[in-house]
Homo-oligomer: A and B are copies of this chain.
Amino acid sequence: MNEPFVALVEEPLRVEDYLTRLPGDSAVPSNTIGAVQWFLGITRGRTEDERQIQKTTDLWYEAHATMAIKEMNRLASDAVSRFELQGIVLVHAIGVVPPGQTSVIVGVAGRHRTPMLDATAWIMENLKRDVPIWKRETFHDGSQDWIHPQ
């Protein structure tokens, strides 16, 4: 088991920077890893609502940083037990993330494929509910919205 790797990073993410943080990568061989799974959340340049499609020109993420790191570590360690992970990477971008760039990366490694896919879904659902990070969208007319899903 690798130590969970959890971070907030003040720029758009690149998965290349994290590949060696999981066992199963060629740089970190392991005898019992059968599946490695990387999920990348990408910011979209268009937001649809009932009335119109607004073009998003700028995306900004803010965190309650110390609490976000605590929640991400709690999530990571819960996921390790629940899905028998042998490695986990959980990274979120903070600040400006232009549309089309990566705002979140979830990497997991373990024995079998299906639990790794389930772990990815579970981690993302919990992250989107509990980790205190907020997105602000700026539209082409200059208006801004903090996103607070109901």
Check B113 against A41 for contact (C-beta < 8 Å). yes
State how many angstroms separate the Cβ of A40 from the closest Cβ of chain B. 4
**B31 x A99 contact (CB < 8 A):** yes
Name the residue on B nearest A56 (C-beta): B31
Q: What class of interface size applies to chain A in its complex with B?
A: 35 or more
How many chain copies does the complex carry? 2
Tell me the chain A residues, 20-79 only, with Cβ under 8 Å from chain B. 24, 26, 29-42, 44-46
**Once the chains are docked, how many angstroms separate the CA of A44 from the CA of B112?**
10
Q: Most B CB atoms within 10 A — which of A31, A41, A109, A121?
A: A31
Interface residues of A (CB under 8 A from B): 12, 14-16, 19, 24, 26, 29-42, 44-46, 99-102, 109, 111, 113-114, 116-117, 120-121, 124
